[in-house]
Amino acid sequence: KSFPIIGVGGIMSPEDAVAKINAGADLIQIYTGFVYEGPGFIARINRKLLDS
């Protein structure tokens, strides 16, 4: 069996999100970054992922 890995904690920038995914996370939780950066944070993460 395999289990999904969820990267949680410390994601305050798109670079942090990419680092979690590059470290092996299947999913990331971006609650704190979303609260402090607003809804545009998700779009910035998506752009960074596309550029990576």
pLDDT at 48 (0 to 100): 96
pLDDT at 52 (0 to 100): 81
Q: Where are the domains of the chain?
A: 6-51
Do residues 28 and 17 lie in contact, with contact meaning Cβ atoms separated by under 8 Å?
A: yes
CB atoms within 10 A of CB 37: 16
Please state whether the predicted TM-score (pTM) of the whole model is above 0.95.
Answer: no
pLDDT at 1 (0 to 100): 86
pLDDT in tens, 1-52: 899 999 999 999 999 999 999 999 999 999 999 999 999 999 999 999 999 8
Length of the chain (residues): 52
